[in-house]
Amino acid sequence: MNDNESAPGIDARTFWRVLGQRAMGMTIVTARDEVGPAGLVALSAAHVSADPATMLVSIDRKTAALATVLVARHFAVNFLPASDAALVDIFGGRAGVTGAARFEGRDWVTLASGAPVLATALGAFDCAVDQVIEQGEVTIVIGRVLAATAGDGEPLVFYRGKSFRGVGEPI
């Protein structure tokens, strides 16, 4: 197949509708360069391997924070607690807050790389960029985990386009 042919597949609307059937923990990916901190909501943050400990994030190329991740060569994946649900609108661009102002009003710490880590995060992985892959409209950034922290609380879960507190009753 040459570059002018399109592969069989599904449209973006169907893709997102089906993906919405999978419950996911909400994450914020953060980084800091010489200009300051940047961050984004990332539904596509996942582990790659435990040995060596490796994470990946998939970032839309139109997202301003991508440049900070690529320049800084590090990022942190912050697992959001339900108590910080407002951060989804702030870091998702729906609250009208941009740049370093997104970090105001919350406590942030650093681990190894200098990337901001939410002090109330259920967990966070601090990563050094290992590999960058361009795929479709996104940049996939794979990072070697430098440090990690685990907190406590109820998770913020994304399901069918909405956020939910906690995970419900165990089976």
Note the pLDDT tens digit of each residue in 24-37. Answer: 999 999 999 999 99
Question: Could you tell me if residue 154 is inside a domain?
Answer: no
Any domain includes 164: no
Start-to-end Cα distance in the chain? 47
| pLDDT for 142 | 98
For residues 19 and 103, is the Cβ–Cβ distance under 8 A? Answer: no
Residue 98 belongs to some domain of the structure: yes
Q: Which residue has the higher pLDDT, 68 or 23?
A: 68
Q: Assign residue 64 the CATH number of its domain.
A: 2.30.110.10
pLDDT at residue 7 tops 90: no
Q: What percent of the chain has pLDDT over 90?
A: 77
75 lies in a domain? yes
pLDDT per residue as tens digits for the range 130-142: 999 999 999 999 9
pLDDT score at 171 = 64
Predicted confidence (pLDDT) per residue in 64-93, tens digit: 999 999 999 999 999 999 999 999 999 999
124 in any annotated domain: yes
100 domain residue, yes or no = yes
In a domain, 106, yes or no: yes
Contact 127, 75 (CB under 8 A): yes
Residue 3 reports pLDDT greater than 70: no
The number of CA neighbours under 13 Å toward the Cβ of 85 is 12
Query: What is the number of domains present in the chain?
Result: 1
pLDDT: which is higher, 167 or 66? 66
pTM: 0.90
Longest Cα–Cα distance of the chain, Å, equals: 51
Establish if 36 belongs to a structural domain: yes
Q: Is the pLDDT of residue 1 over 60?
A: no
Residues 6+ apart with CB under 8 A from 99: 36, 38
Can you say whether the dihedral through the CA atoms of 74, 89, 155, 16 is positive or negative? negative
Boundaries of domain holding 97: 24-149
pLDDT band for position 10 (50/70/90)? confident
The whole-number pLDDT of residue 78 equals 98
Confidence of residue 4 (pLDDT cuts 50, 70, 90): very low
Neighbours of 123 (CB within 10 A): 18
